[in-house]
Amino acid sequence: MSSSHNATTVPDVQELTCAIQEKYTEVAQTPDRGFHFHTGRPLARMLRYPDEWVDATPPSVVESFAGVGNPFRLGALPAGATVLDIGSGAGFDAQQAARQVGARGRVIGVDLTPAMVTKARAGAAAAGLANVAFSEGRAEALPLPDAAVDVVISNGVINLCPDKAAVYREIFRVLRPGGRLQIADVMVQASVPDDAKADINLWTG
């Protein structure tokens, strides 16, 4: 009964995946076109990222930033740590993480949208950051082995995932014992009508 009900109120996973990729391909390739969510340098300032962090990040990365909060306000990342950024986009947060963990640390960015991964790789090269790498992947099936990272960060991404329980199982799997989770995301504080749950436009941003 429960799974049947969910099937009528949650968009088809493949359809949702394609819609998310289409939307965030636009954010990667045409960031100035305007979206119903904030982006870029004004958003970073709104979310209280220090100006010096933004200035140190290539403009091509900053322009496609589309987070909803600032996961670094939950604490600085330890030097030498291995960090996973789920839904890394153009690499804005991953670059901040790479600078915090230093040359002995490592940052792994995973994103669903190929255009974002391509842009993130180019941005890391432009910034001269050798300790960060990006790959395509889904939050529900992370392309990492067990106990691979010390910290998981994510910014405005888990809300896009229809199977959030699977995402958190994957986070638990890839974190080392004593690892940390630092996320910024949107939450609902009241019941969501079924017609809203089924509206793919509300899922994609």
- pLDDT at res. 1: 36
Res 63: pLDDT: 98
43-48: long-range contacts, CB 8 A cutoff, minimum separation 24? 43/67, 44/92, 47/184, 48/73
Structure tokens of 116?
């974002």
Cα gap 78→71, rounded to integer Å = 14
pLDDT digits (tens, 9 = 90+) for 142-170: 999 999 999 999 999 999 998 999 999 99
Whole-number Å distance between alpha carbons of 95 and 120: 9
* CA dist., res. 5 & res. 194, Å (int): 9
Q: Is the dihedral of CA 160, 91, 114, 173 positive or negative?
A: negative
**Spatial separation of the C-alpha atoms in residues 82 and 35, rounded to whole Å:** 33
pTM as predicted:
0.90
Mean pLDDT over the full length of the chain: 92
Stronger pLDDT, 93 or 34, i.e. the higher one:
93
Helix (H) or strand (E) holding 100: helix 92-101
Helix/strand/coil for 3: helix
* Sign (positive or negative) of CA dihedral 100, 131, 81, 72: positive
What proportion of the chain, given as a percentage, has pLDDT over 90? Answer: 80
Q: Which amino acid is at 22?
A: E
List, for residues 66-112, the tens digit of each pLDDT value.
Answer: 999 999 999 999 999 999 999 999 999 999 999 999 999 999 999 99
Domains in the chain, CATH or no CATH each: 2-190 (3.40.50.150)
